[in-house]
């Protein structure tokens, strides 16, 4: 086949192929942009979740907040032991009201509960609590 004979068609065809290539490029960009946007959105959401989790479970104020478990109950009833980021507390002779207050406080603290023992002795309660953060 003599290509020169069809040079007009070839010129139009080449321009058409250029247009087709550009169209495919544009479509590729659109779909990759949508993909990127979804990936970025997910990454941002994951990032925010990590930040939120870190804020809860690595809160620098937790140490101070844990101290309130000691102050919540009269000192005579509390045996307190704190080492680094670990606390072992023993509460003796708690009334049901004091027990409720203590358990509610423990549940609202962002600490890892390692042990929580409650024993009823007569009308009072004996509590042993171990946690870390």
Partner 1 sequence: MGSNKELLLAHASMEHVSLSHSVNIMLTPQFYTLIKEPLPVKYLYQAKKIAPSLFEGLLEEGRSYEYLVFKEENSWAFIAYDVDKITEFLGTKGIKPEQVSKLFFAQQSLTSFSDPVLLGKKEALVVLDDTVVVVPQAALGEETNPLTFNDSFTPKTGVTLQGAYGSLLSMKQASALAVAFTFFAGMFFVEGWRYGNNSKAADEEMQVLLEEYPSLQSKMQRENISAKYKTIDAAERKKREVVKSLSMMIFKGVTLTSFTLNEKGFKVQFSCSDAKVAKRLNELAKKEKLNASKIAGGNDIQIEGTL
Burial 115-133 (b: 16+ CB within 10 A, else e): eeeeeeeeebbbbebbbeb
How near is the Cβ of 55 to partner 1 at its closest, in Å? 10
- Could you give the string, one character per residue 81-110, with x where binding to partner 1 holds by CB under 8 A and - elsewhere? ----------------------x---x--x
Q: Judged by CB under 8 A, does residue 76 bind partner 1?
A: no
Q: How far is CA 101 from CA 46, 71, 94, 118, in A?
A: 35, 12, 10, 14
- Structure tokens given for 107: 């549940």
Alpha carbon distance 96, 104 (integer Å):
12
Count of residues that interact with partner 1, criterion CB under 8 A = 55
The CB-of-73 to partner 1 minimum distance in angstroms stands at 17
> Does residue 114 touch partner 1 according to CB under 8 A?
yes
Q: Does 26 bind partner 1 (CB under 8 A)?
A: yes
Candidate segments 41-49, 60-68, 69-77, 81-89, binder of partner 1 by CB under 8 A: 41-49
State the residue for tokens 């953060």.
133
Check: CB of residue 105 under 8 Å from CB of residue 113. no
Helix (H, G, I), strand (E, B) or coil at 2: coil
**Where does this chain bind partner 1 (CB under 8 A)?**
2, 4-9, 11-12, 14-16, 18-19, 21-23, 25-30, 32-33, 36-37, 40-41, 43-44, 46-51, 53-54, 56-58, 103, 107, 110-120
């Amino acid at each position: 086949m003599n290509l020169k004979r069809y040079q007009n068609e070839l010129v139009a065809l080449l321009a058409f192929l250029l247009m087709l290539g550009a169209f495919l490029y544009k479509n590729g960009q659109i779909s990759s942009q949508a993909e990127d946007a979804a990936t970025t959105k997910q990454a941002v959401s994951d990032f925010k979740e990590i930040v939120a989790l870190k804020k809860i479970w690595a809160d620098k104020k937790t140490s101070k907040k844990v101290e309130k478990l000691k102050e919540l109950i009269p000192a005579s009833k509390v045996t307190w032991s704190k080492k680094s980021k670990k606390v072992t507390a023993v509460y003796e002779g708690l009334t049901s009201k004091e027990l409720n207050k203590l358990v509610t406080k423990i549940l609202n603290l962002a600490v890892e509960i390692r042990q929580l023992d409650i024993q009823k002795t007569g009308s009072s309660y004996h509590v042993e609590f171990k946690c870390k953060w």
